[in-house]
Structure 1
Amino acid sequence: MNHLRLFLLSIVVLTSANMLPAGDWPHWRGPNDLGAAEPGQSPPAEFSDTQNVLWKTPVPGRGHSSPTIIGDKVFLTTADVAAQTQSVLCFDRQTGKPVWSTIVNTGGLPREIHSHNTHATPTVACDAQQLFVVFNNHESAQLAALDLNGKILWKKQGPFSPEQYKFGYGPSPLLYDDLVIVAAEYEKGYIVALNKKNGDVAWKIDRPQISFSSPVVANIAGRDQMLISGLGKVCSFDPKSGKQLWAVDGPAIATCGTLVWQGDTVFASGGYPEKETMAVKADGSGKVLWRQGVRCYEQSLVAADGYVYAVSDDGIGYCWNAETGEEMWKKRLGGSVSSSPTLVGDLIYLFNERGKCFVFKTNPEKFELVAENQLGDEAYASPSFCDGKMFMRTADSTDGTRRETLYCIGE
Structure 2
Amino acid sequence: MVKHWQSICCVFSMCLVFSAGQLRAEDWPAFRGPLGNGISQETDVPLKWSAEENILWKAPLPAPGNSSPIVSNGKVFITCAENEGRKRSLYCFDRTSGKQLWVRSVEPDKVMPTHKTNNYCGSTPAADGKRVVVWHSSAGLYCYDFAGKELWHRSLGEFEHIWGYGASPVLHAGKIILHCGPGKRVFMTALDLESGKTLWETNEPVAGDGQYNDQRKYMGSWSTPVIANVNGQTLIICSMALRVNAYEPTSGKIIWSCEGLHGKKGDLAYTSPVLANKICVAMGGFNGPAIGFRMQGSGNITDAQRLWLKEPNPQRISTGIFTNGHLFMANAGPNLFQCLNPATGEIVWQERSGGAACWGSMVLADKHLYVTDQNGTTHVFQPSTAGLEKVAENPLKERSNSTPAVSDGQVFIRTFRHLYCIGK
TM-score normalised by structure 1 residue count: 0.90
Q: Secondary structure at the match of 1:382?
A: coil
Task: Report if aligned partners of 2:108, 2:139 keep a CA contact under 8 Å in 1.
Answer: no
Q: Secondary structure at the match of 1:407?
A: strand
Matched, 1:237 2:247: yes
Q: Secondary structure at the match of 2:155?
A: strand
Matched, 1:218 2:225: no
Q: Which residue type is aligned with residue 362 of structure 1? A: P
Q: How far apart are the structure 2 equivalents of 1:306 and 1:341?
A: 16
Matched, 1:259 2:273: yes
> Which residue of the partner structure matches residue 331 of structure 2?
312
Query: Which of the residues 16, 19, 39 maps onto 2:18?
Result: 16
1:106-121 equivalent positions in 2, closer than 5 A: 106-108=107-109, 110=111, 112-121=113-122
Q: How far apart are the structure 2 equivalents of 1:256 and 1:38?
A: 26
Q: Secondary structure at the match of 1:376?
A: coil
Task: Report if aligned partners of 1:13, 1:31 keep a CA contact under 8 Å in 2.
Answer: no
Task: Report if aligned partners of 2:85, 2:119 keep a CA contact under 8 Å in 1.
Answer: no
> Which residue of the partner structure matches residue 401 of structure 1?
none
Q: Secondary structure at the match of 1:78?
A: strand
Q: How far apart are the structure 2 equivalents of 1:12 and 1:320?
A: 19
The CA deviation at 1:142 is 0.9
Q: Which residue type is aligned with residue 379 of structure 1? A: S
Q: Secondary structure at the match of 1:16?
A: coil
Q: Which residue type is aligned with residue 85 of structure 1? A: K
> Which residue of the partner structure matches residue 306 of structure 2?
288
The CA deviation at 1:260 is 1.8
Query: Which of the residues 332, 335, 353 maps onto 2:356?
Result: 335
Q: Secondary structure at the match of 1:390?
A: strand
The CA deviation at 1:13 is 7.9
Q: How far apart are the structure 2 equivalents of 1:376 and 1:393?
A: 12
Q: How far apart are the structure 1 equivalents of 2:273 and 2:85?
A: 36
Q: How far apart are the structure 1 equivalents of 2:289 and 2:169?
A: 25
Q: How far apart are the structure 2 equivalents of 1:26 and 1:260?
A: 19
> Which residue of the partner structure matches residue 207 of structure 1?
204
Number of residue equivalences = 393
Q: Which residue type is aligned with residue 191 of structure 1? A: M
> Which residue of the partner structure matches residue 268 of structure 1?
282
1:68-217 equivalent positions in 2, closer than 5 A: 68-81=70-83, 84-103=86-105, 105-108=106-109, 110=111, 112-136=113-137, 140=138, 142-162=140-160, 165-185=161-181, 186-209=183-206, 210-217=220-227
Q: Which residue type is aligned with residue 245 of structure 1? A: I
Q: Which residue type is aligned with residue 406 of structure 1? A: L
Deviations 1:192-242 (A, max 9, x none): 211111111111111243321111211122211111112211111112111
Runs of 5+ consecutive residues of structure 1 not aligned to the other structure: 396-403
C-alpha distance 250-11 of structure 1, shift in aligned 2 (>3 A): closer
C-alpha distance 322-161 of structure 1, shift in aligned 2 (>3 A): closer
The CA deviation at 1:365 is 1.2
Matched, 1:278 2:324: no
The CA deviation at 1:349 is 0.9
Task: Report if aligned partners of 1:212, 1:256 keep a CA contact under 8 Å in 2.
Answer: yes
Q: Secondary structure at the match of 2:118?
A: coil
C-alpha distance 10-96 of structure 1, shift in aligned 2 (>3 A): farther
Identity rate, percent? 29
> Which residue of the partner structure matches residue 35 of structure 2?
32
Task: Report if aligned partners of 1:350, 1:359 keep a CA contact under 8 Å in 2.
Answer: yes
Task: Report if aligned partners of 1:269, 1:296 keep a CA contact under 8 Å in 2.
Answer: no
C-alpha distance 238-62 of structure 1, shift in aligned 2 (>3 A): same
Matched, 1:325 2:345: yes
C-alpha distance 364-292 of structure 1, shift in aligned 2 (>3 A): farther
Deviations 1:14-61 (A, max 9, x none): 96333211000010110121011124x132221111011111111223
Segment drifting more, 9-18 vs 246-255: 9-18
Q: How far apart are the structure 2 equivalents of 1:348 and 1:108?
A: 42
C-alpha distance 54-11 of structure 1, shift in aligned 2 (>3 A): farther
Q: Which residue type is aligned with residue 119 of structure 1? A: Y
Task: Report if aligned partners of 1:109, 1:119 keep a CA contact under 8 Å in 2.
Answer: no
Q: Secondary structure at the match of 1:144?
A: strand
Runs of 5+ consecutive residues of structure 2 not aligned to the other structure: 207-219
C-alpha distance 179-159 of structure 1, shift in aligned 2 (>3 A): same
TM-score normalised by structure 2 residue count: 0.87
Q: Which residue type is aligned with residue 145 of structure 1? A: C
Deviations 1:124-143 (A, max 9, x none): 1012221110003xxx2511
C-alpha distance 4-224 of structure 1, shift in aligned 2 (>3 A): closer
> Which residue of the partner structure matches residue 382 of structure 2?
361
The CA deviation at 1:114 is 1.0
Task: Report if aligned partners of 2:80, 2:89 keep a CA contact under 8 Å in 1.
Answer: yes
Q: How far apart are the structure 2 equivalents of 1:385 and 1:201?
A: 32
Q: Secondary structure at the match of 1:377?
A: coil
